Amino acid sequence: MGKNENSELALIAKAKIKKFLLKVSGKVNHLKKGIKLKSVWYGNQYGGFYVYPDLLNENSIIYSFGIGRDISFDTTVIKNHNCRVFGFDPTPKSIDWIKSQDIPSKFTFHDVGISDKSGFCDFYFPKNPDNVSGSIVVQDNIDVCEKTTVKMRSIKDITNELAHTHIDILKMDIEGAEYSVIENILDSDISIDQILIEFHDRFVENGKAKTCHAIRCLNDKGFEIFAISDSCYEISLINKNKVIA
């Protein structure tokens, strides 16, 4: 076994220990699976999510919000199912990075972010200049004095522009902006099979309560948690009507 394999196993073991400690502490007791399904991790340890692969094929449409400098999730979906992935990120560093990459032909990048309404808004850079991920919301990791203006689109406007009425997977890693976006997505008439979200409750005020509310809203619309990452940050939900006759 090589050094890289040992390092990967060490990271996985560390994540599992962290997950156990979080559960014991009660900090993640609000995260519980509502349905039992086969789940497969797509992407690397940093940028991946659990997916229920049995609903995917070459005709599937994947929306990936929050790219940063990691398209391991996106390339895994393309490799496994030969389907189209649409990536979205307004982050200047992400846009520059994408331009320098040899990306798959089935990956289409859009330099906009998702919000509850379309327009331009302030985008705050991270406190650590070496990091990529900023946010449109004020949270612990951003510097309110360092910002730029970025383009944002609502889910309705994005799907109208791309002529999509159905999304097989909608993935979001948008640094705390997920809370306002989730309700907007659920209020839209777009059909979605799976929603994968990294919740950033650890960074925002009343984060746990906001996550609980978001999950209740998702449950009310028929989405159930089927997988939780070892870090307890990445949560995968499925429209239960797709798997329960």
pLDDT tens sequence across 9-54:
454 455 455 554 455 444 566 788 999 999 999 999 889 999 999 9
Does 4 map to a domain? no
The predicted structure's pLDDT at residue 194: 98
The predicted structure's pLDDT at residue 17: 54
Question: Which CATH number is 84's domain given?
Answer: 3.40.50.150
Average pLDDT of the chain? 88
The predicted structure's pLDDT at residue 14: 53
Q: Which long-range contacts (CB under 8 A, 24 or more apart) does 214-222 make?
A: 214/178, 214/179, 214/182, 214/183, 215/30, 215/31, 217/182, 217/183, 217/186, 218/182, 218/186, 219/34, 221/186
- Counted domains in the chain: 1
Does 113 map to a domain? yes
The predicted structure's pLDDT at residue 221: 96
pLDDT band at 132 (very low <50, low <70, confident <90, very high): confident
By C-alpha distance, which of 24, 29, 71, 79 is closest to 49? 71
Does 3 map to a domain? no
Does 8 map to a domain? no
pLDDT > 70 in the chain, percent: 87
pLDDT band at 140 (very low <50, low <70, confident <90, very high): confident
pLDDT tens track for 79-105: 999 999 999 999 999 999 999 999 999
* Boundaries of domain holding 87: 16-242
The predicted structure's pLDDT at residue 227: 96
Does 1 map to a domain? no
Q: Is the pLDDT assigned to residue 219 strictly greater than 50? A: yes
The pTM assigned to this predicted structure is: 0.87
Does 51 map to a domain? yes
Does 67 map to a domain? yes
pLDDT tens track for 163-185: 999 999 999 999 889 999 999 99
pLDDT band at 4 (very low <50, low <70, confident <90, very high): very low
Q: Beta strands 166-172 and 191-198: pairing type?
A: parallel
The predicted structure's pLDDT at residue 7: 46
The neighbour count for residue 115, using CB atoms within 10 Å, is 23
The predicted structure's pLDDT at residue 44: 93
The predicted structure's pLDDT at residue 141: 80
The predicted structure's pLDDT at residue 5: 42
Does 2 map to a domain? no
